[in-house]
Amino acid sequence: MTDSSALDLDPEDRKIVTLARSARARNGVPEGAAVRDETGRTYVAGTVGLESLNLSALRTAVAMAVASGARSLEAAAVVTDTALPAEDVAAVRDLGGAGTPVLVAGPDGTVRETLTA
């Protein structure tokens, strides 16, 4: 990723955008997401689209962090073509607290906006 917005990101934030982008491409899903917990561990996920279970990539990544024992989040990133639902931001806020940054990037990895959970 060589776009100028990626170069302006902190290296750890650039890493989660890259991981989210990779998950989306590798799995051929509409969204890829990655979150970083309070210890620096990352959790990467794609959209889950089963007949009985539908989860956005970001909610899946947050659930993976919780299931792995994370107590908080430092940041989150999602790669998507669409607007981010409020429920996704709420999931980040539930674990990370108010003020946790959520980087929203397009498929090319360019960060379109940074939301605050």
The answer to whether 71 touches 94, Cβ cutoff 8 Å, is no
pLDDT per position as a tens digit, 96-112: 999 999 999 999 999 99
Q: How far is CA 76 from CA 52, 53, 66, in A?
A: 26, 22, 14
Bridge partners for 45 per DSSP: 33
pLDDT per position as a tens digit, 2-45: 343 555 899 999 999 999 999 999 999 999 999 999 999 999 99
The answer to whether 24 touches 107, Cβ cutoff 8 Å, is yes
Please tell me the distance from the alpha carbon of residue 21 to that of residue 109, in angstroms, as a whole number: 6
